[in-house]
Structure 1
């Protein structure tokens, strides 16, 4: 191969490399945009959860309020960072295993991530009869156990309320939160 041929091959390789890098740029931009959206969703979930907690009343006012994260969660990172509720009251956040026997005594509220049906059943059995507010993050039909079920999208974080679970929980929820859940559920 001649020097001119080597230069031509080198130019072709350089051109191909440049094209590949240009094509990879939008993929990185998409990843960055997705990361920003995920952070925005996490912040929105945090605001909704803190709002729900601020409108809940326990038989005895817990200070600090103990929020336990149970199971793998997608949007709880900001909850772990914060240590104050919207009211300024202290918030203690920690992770527990789904089958932790102390969940009812260690938690005033549980934020539930992805659990299998058996784990969910055992968790709800453990908190049954105790004033524990439960919020499900994962795709939960909101028919069994959880008081609140989040509906997270890029546009908004909405929630559903399981009135039967609220009535059984021993935790009182301000009526305006119940009304808010109805309005948000109706929005497209």
Structure 2
């Protein structure tokens, strides 16, 4: 899908981020290998230092690839601190600021909106769980969706690639070619991230 030919439909809604940080506390943030590579390069951290595996049986059915390990199934997410905030949040006065804002995961870029593809048209809507929760909804001017529309093609490609990467991992675990440990998974992921950095 050519980036300049994306057809999109989106709601007419007012939204201004208030930097309250509540979305960073309330949700686990799923990531793709592209998100991980950007954050690792920006921070100089190893992926295993800022990533966690969240048990699938403790979550709703997320539209994210499920990682099979020898002890269960997981989603790949950003770590949280003990107080529930994202590992990359920092307080600046009374605002909770994202310290990786320039390279934050695509799911963070879109909140409180979600999107899906319907017959070649990208449709955006307000995430139902954000209604009545996110204080930025119905504040300020109408959302323009410029950032969302400009990055949705890349986001869809990243999700598709990541699904293939995880399917390859799961196949190797199922066939006994990989031991299916957490350490093996992070070694696998870091090799993917390193090769994607070289390719960029």
- For this structure pair, what is the TM-score category when the shorter chain's length is used for normalisation? under 0.3
Larger Cα Rg: Structure 1 or Structure 2? Answer: 1
Q: Which has the higher helix share?
A: 1
Q: Which has the higher strand share?
A: 2
Q: Which has the higher contact order (CA 8 A, sep 6+)?
A: 2
With the length of structure 1 as denominator, give the TM-score of the two structures.
0.27
